[in-house]
Structure formats: C-alpha cells, structure tokens
Amino acid sequence: MERIYLDHAATSPMHPQVIEIMLEVMQSTFGNPSSIHSFGREARHLIDQARAGLADSIGAKENEIIFTSGGTEADNMALFGVAESYQHKGKHIITTKVEHHAVLHACQKLEKMGFEVTYLPVDESGQISLDDLRTALRDDTILVSIMYGNNEVGTLQPITEIGQLLKDHQAMFHTDAVQAYGVEQIEVNQSFIDLLSVSAHKINGPKGTGFLYARSNVKLSPRSFGGEQERKRRAGTENIAAIVGFHEASSISNGNRKAKREQFLELKRTLIEKLRKLNVEFNINGILENSLPHVLNLSFPGTSVEAMLVNLDLAGIAVSSGSACTAGSIEPSHVLVAMFGKNSERLTNSIRFSFGFNTTVEEVSKTAEETARIVSRLKK
C-alpha cells in the first residue's frame, strides 16, 4: 500500500543533502569545538559557519544566535531567561491563548513562581487584536510572547505591527517562529523582534537541534550550567553534525522559499477544490489569505476526529489533529477552543493536513478522494 505523509507540521523527513553533509561531518570532524588543537578548531570552524548562515537568514548578528536542542528549549530559554533577568523591572508577561505548549506550560510555571500572565484571546480566524495587546500592556510588562504562525491552523499574527507597538516599551518581544521559519520571510530588525525560536526538524533538518535568536542587548539568565559554550548562555558540548545539518536545511529551505510557497499553496488549493468537487462538506479553520502556506486545518461536520484519523491511517494517509487522542477520550485543542469556544463541534471533527518538499499533487488528490469516501461512510 502506498503511504502518504501529510503531517510535516509535526515533523519533516530529512532532506537527502542534509543527511549527506551530516554523514560527512560525523565521519571526518569529531573534535571538541572547545579544544584549541587542530581537531577542535576544525569543529569550531563548522559551527561558526553555520551560526553565520543561520543569523543571516533572519537578518541577525552571529553572536545573537544561541544553539539549542530545538524549539521547546528555545522557547523556555526565552521566557525563563527574560523573566529571571528582568523581574526587577516587573513581573507581568503577555502571551496568547493559542501558543504552543512550550510557551503556555512555561507561562503556567512562571505563574507559580509569582509572575502574572495575561493570555490574549483570538478571533475566529485565530488572530489577536492589536487593541487587546495595547490594553493589556502595562508599565511592569517585561515580556510579550506571540507566535509567528500557528502550528495547528496556520494563522499568521501581525508580527511587525506588534514589534512596532512594543519598540518604545521596556517589554522584550519574543516570537515562536518554529512553523514560520523557512516559509515566511523573517527579518528581526524590520519587525523589532528581540527573541525568536526556531527548530531544525520542521525544515527537513535533524531532530534535537534549533536556535534562539536573542538581540545583543537582551540579558538572559542561563538555563544550564557547566562549560562556557554559547558565550556562557548554554553549557554543553555542541552537536556539530546536527548544527551543520541545520544550516544545510536552512540554506535549502530559505534558498527556494518563493518556489516552495507556490508549491504549498497549489497543494492547498488542490485539496480544497478536489473536496468541493467531491461534494464533501467541510469548513476551513483559520483564514486562507493570512496563513502559513503548508498548513490546512479542516472541520468535517458529522464526523469524529478519532474515526477520521484511524480510517485515514488505514488508507495509508498520515495526518493529525489538534487533539491529543487517548484511549476512549479526547482533550480538545486549546487553539480551536480559543477560536470557537468550548462547545463548538469543530473541536471534535477537525483535521490538520500539512505539506512538505516531497508532497505531490497526486498524493493530495488521492488524499481528497480517500477523505471523501471516509466522510461519506462515517456520516451514514
């Protein structure tokens, strides 16, 4: 049976060029980057090259890139690092109700530590109101963390407008750009972003590596202690092969961003048009005109998310839902709850389709046909 993978927002397969360059590094460069001998210097040179390339991809300086184990650690480093370093200026933090759990759970922990957190609501498209942010902003606000593009429904937030609103305020502006990096053009200075999180495995790089961009004037309390790596901001011997692989994945992803966006938008249009031709009843969660090109979240009235996921998997199609499905119970997606309310039927019948560099129009067409058959069967 042919298997179709449409869950690239969860994780993406490594690009062949990334695998090739990582194997080369693993075979030839094993020195500790902190060692001063030739083996260490060779490893350090590779890390320096990667740092420079990744910094350039967002318009940052090399010393503003901190390598992490991925997006979760980057988010945690940003939130806890800023909170501990600037608590003398205030203990108020602003975020949204639709953030990734790496931000939301960190905020919940900070609340237990005595910080006050305001969770901004979103409209039915999944977007915050700038007026709500302006109202929530206080003299003692030290951090605003608002994601670039949502991982479940794809909605983009008005990042540049948020940055402009905050540029004359003491609050640091952090954005989780894990889903947006590589598909959206990100310029940290033009958008007045102080901190930004990225993960390699979302852009066909290796799992277990990512970075936090932190503007040079931002003070960050470290989360790990030991060596003096990453300018004393993150202790631990660097994963050289993964960092080099991350850089290669970034170069590929950002190098053909325009063509990739067009490819993803075509796949999105194909799936929607095919479902309509097959007379499938569905609603789009989010807004097509203002969303990540590779993420499409659809609600299928009269179905259940568990049945849809199981039947699609049996048909060889891998997709996902915003819900954490467990045996016999579903925890509703916090994103859909924020958008539509806790009583909306969309909480129990929504599926996320997400595309990658190797997704074809034929695969998406077949997915639409199988989806139509499954929806028809379930509604009977």
CATH number at residue 280: 3.90.1150.10
Q: How far apart are CA 151 and CA 356, in angstroms?
A: 14
Phi, psi of 351 (to 5 degrees): -125, 140
Per-residue pLDDT tens for 97-113?
Answer: 999 999 999 999 999 99
pLDDT of residue 118: 98
Closest CA to 107 of 174, 194, 199, 202: 174
The percent of residues in the chain predicted with pLDDT above 90, rounded, is: 93
What's the whole-number mean pLDDT along residues 144-170? 98
What's the whole-number mean pLDDT along residues 199-212? 98
Phi, psi of 3 (to 5 degrees): -105, 140
Last residue of a domain, one of 209, 228, 255: 255
The verdict on 278 and 265 lying in the same domain is yes
The verdict on 185 and 63 lying in the same domain is yes
pLDDT of residue 265: 97
CB 211 within 8 A of CB 198: yes
Last residue of a domain, one of 223, 255, 287: 255
The verdict on 30 and 59 lying in the same domain is yes
The verdict on 233 and 297 lying in the same domain is no
Closest CA to 109 of 88, 95, 90, 129: 95
- Is the confidence at residue 152, as pLDDT, over 90? yes
The verdict on 50 and 171 lying in the same domain is yes
**Banded pLDDT at 380 (limits 50, 70, 90):** confident
- CATH number of the domain encompassing residue 130: 3.40.640.10
- Is the confidence at residue 212, as pLDDT, over 70? yes
pLDDT of residue 193: 98
Beta strands in the chain (DSSP E): 4-5, 65-68, 92-96, 116-120, 141-145, 172-176, 195-199, 210-214, 283-285, 295-299, 317-318, 324-326, 329-331, 350-354
Per-residue pLDDT tens for 18-75?
Answer: 999 999 999 999 999 999 999 999 999 999 999 999 999 999 999 999 999 999 999 9
- Is the confidence at residue 329, as pLDDT, over 60? no
Rama region for 377: left / alpha / beta (φ>0; ψ in -120 to 50; rest): alpha
Q: Among 114-128, 159-173, 228-242, which is the least confidently predicted range?
A: 228-242
Amino acid at 206: P
Q: How far apart are CA 47 and CA 53, in angstroms?
A: 10
The verdict on 280 and 367 lying in the same domain is yes
- Is the confidence at residue 323, as pLDDT, over 70? no
107 classed as catalytic:
no
CA dihedral 336, 340, 343, 345 (to 10 degrees): -70
The verdict on 242 and 348 lying in the same domain is no
pLDDT of residue 1: 81
If you average pLDDT over every residue of the chain, what do you get?
96
The verdict on 246 and 147 lying in the same domain is yes
**Banded pLDDT at 322 (limits 50, 70, 90):** low
**Banded pLDDT at 3 (limits 50, 70, 90):** very high
Catalytic residue, candidates 26, 265, 325, 330: 325
The verdict on 226 and 297 lying in the same domain is no
What's the whole-number mean pLDDT along residues 257-277? 97
Per-residue pLDDT tens for 334-365?
Answer: 999 999 999 999 999 999 999 999 999 999 99
Residue with tokens 């503007």: 215
The verdict on 184 and 125 lying in the same domain is yes
Per-residue pLDDT tens for 73-82?
Answer: 999 999 999 9
Total count of domains within the chain: 2
What's the whole-number mean pLDDT along residues 242-254? 97
The verdict on 282 and 368 lying in the same domain is yes
**Banded pLDDT at 328 (limits 50, 70, 90):** very low
pLDDT of residue 332: 87
Angle between helices 240-255 and 257-277 (to 10 degrees): 70
Q: How far apart are CA 324 and CA 332, in angstroms?
A: 7
The verdict on 152 and 54 lying in the same domain is yes
pLDDT of residue 50: 98
Residue range(s) defining the domain that contains residue 21: 16-255
pLDDT of residue 326: 40
What's the whole-number mean pLDDT along residues 257-271? 97
Count CB atoms within 10 A of the CB of residue 243.
27
SS3 per residue for 85-132:
HHHHHCCEEEEECCCCHHHHHHHHHHHHCCCEEEEECCCCCCCCCHHH
Closest CA to 103 of 162, 190, 184, 179: 179
Last residue of a domain, one of 200, 235, 255: 255
